[in-house]
Amino acid sequence: MKKNKRKNPAGRLFVKLLGNERYQVISIPIFAILISLVVGAVVIGILGKNPVSAYGNLLQGSGLVPKAKYAGGKSMLTDFFSFMDYWTPMIFASLAVAVALKAGLFNIGVSGQMLAAGFVATVIVGYSTLGAPVAKPLAILIAAVTGALVGGLIGFLKYRFNINEVVSSIMLNYIAEYIIAFFINTRFVDPVSRQSKAVSDASRLTLPGVKIGGLKMDIPLGIILAVIAALAIKFIFDKTVLGYELKAVGANRNASRYAGINVGKNMVLSMVISGALAGLAGATYYLGYYASIQPRVLSSTGFDAIAVSILGNSNPIGILCSSFLINIINKGSTYMSSTAGLDAEIASVITGLILLFAACGEYIKYQVKKTKDKMEDERRNAA
């Protein structure tokens, strides 16, 4: 960061690229991403692999760039649909984190809420004999309600008993993980896979193995819902009283109380919405991308979502972009590791680096402003 301070062309370039305050919302995250990709490339280089082809593999694995060859019945589109299938729960989960963050709450329990919602929907709808037109909407509804209840509980504990939401959601994560593991292991276990028995195809939110023009692909239905949800959340925050109140509570709890906003109600409400979104993430994860639940495992999606949400500046549109990017890294890493011979974990290192630099956003902004002011002073003195 010291570069900015010097009077060299680099400083001027930085100001030129990042100086415009209107675009800093976008330009600084992109700057953070680029730096981390460069750092990641250096690491890959040190490991003796070609970083360009490794990054290319990420895109190929995500179905955004064609691979050299495909197995029978597969194509780039197959990969891309699978990419979207994995992307869907990530969008929902990140929106869940963002809604809570806007109201000043930190929902670290998205994974637990996803699991609870996925499990309840699996047991009630997934193992029923309902037909697809009833089962699919019902699964979505039940998952959303379950998630909302768990999220609402966290909000209520905070409001009524002053229990820090970070603590209660972590406790609930564990409780959900173990109770559900107990029920799966005693009642719903598939003796071969050691996971819960697969849900019926009628209830699944992903249509598996659909044949289009001789190519097989998994069609994710939830992606449409996810994009609608992102737009709806944006509308709520930008255009409604509810959104305004939530943001006010998040910005300053005391000021909102003086302004006559019911802080407790809004906190619980934000957690209800957040939980419902987490529930939808659970439905599209456990009854979509996967069709079963692995006992005693919380999905990493709920935790990655925190990162995605931060990178997207808690803005629904920003989240659509940042989740797309993080998903490329997550989804493409398997292909990269098999093709380039790199450990798949390098992908999460790059994700971590992106977040690290994104967290420095304020500082970058501050340095850019300082350099800019200094340069203007110099210009004035020279004139």
- Residue in 10, 52, 132, 179 binding another protein, rule: CB under 8 A: 179
Q: Which of residues 145-164 bind another protein (CB under 8 A)?
A: 157, 161-164
DSSP 266: H
Give min distance, CB of 232 to another protein, in A.
25
Contact call for residues 128 and 135 (beta carbons, < 8 A) = yes
Q: What stretches of the chain show up as alpha helix (H) in DSSP?
A: 9-18, 24-46, 51-61, 76-102, 110-121, 132-161, 165-183, 222-239, 241-251, 253-258, 263-284, 301-311, 316-340, 345-359, 361-382
Give min distance, CB of 11 to another protein, in A.
19
User: What is the C-alpha separation between 279 and 112, in angstroms, rounded?
Assistant: 9
Q: Is 343 in the site for another protein (CB under 8 A)?
A: yes
Handedness of CA 319, 321, 326, 328 (dihedral sign): positive
Q: Is 255 in the site for another protein (CB under 8 A)?
A: no
Q: Is 329 in the site for another protein (CB under 8 A)?
A: no
- Residue in 360, 369, 374, 375 binding another protein, rule: CB under 8 A: 360
What's the chain's Rg over C-alpha atoms?
23
The site string for another protein over 55-94 (x = CB under 8 A, - otherwise) reads ----------------------------------------
Q: Which of 84, 42, 56, 139 is nearest to 349 (CA)?
A: 42
User: Integer distance in angstroms from the first to the last C-alpha of the chain?
Assistant: 29
Nearer to another protein, 20 or 185 (CB): 185
Q: Is 185 in the site for another protein (CB under 8 A)?
A: yes
Q: Is 106 in the site for another protein (CB under 8 A)?
A: yes
Q: Is 205 in the site for another protein (CB under 8 A)?
A: no
Nearer to another protein, 275 or 288 (CB): 275
Q: Is 352 in the site for another protein (CB under 8 A)?
A: yes
Q: List Cβ neighbours of 9 (8 Å cut-off, separation of 6 or more).
A: none
AA letter at 359 = A
Contact call for residues 143 and 280 (beta carbons, < 8 A) = yes
Q: Is 4 in the site for another protein (CB under 8 A)?
A: no
Residue 257, token pair as written in the block: 């109380």
User: What is the C-alpha separation between 228 and 43, in angstroms, rounded?
Assistant: 38
Q: Is 359 in the site for another protein (CB under 8 A)?
A: yes
Size of the site for another protein (CB under 8 A): 46
Nearer to another protein, 108 or 336 (CB): 108
Handedness of CA 238, 242, 243, 247 (dihedral sign): positive
Nearer to another protein, 85 or 177 (CB): 177
Q: Which residues bind another protein (CB under 8 A)?
A: 47, 106, 108, 157, 161-164, 166-168, 170-172, 174-175, 178-179, 181-182, 185-186, 295-296, 303-304, 306-307, 310, 343, 345-346, 348-349, 351-353, 355-356, 358-363, 366
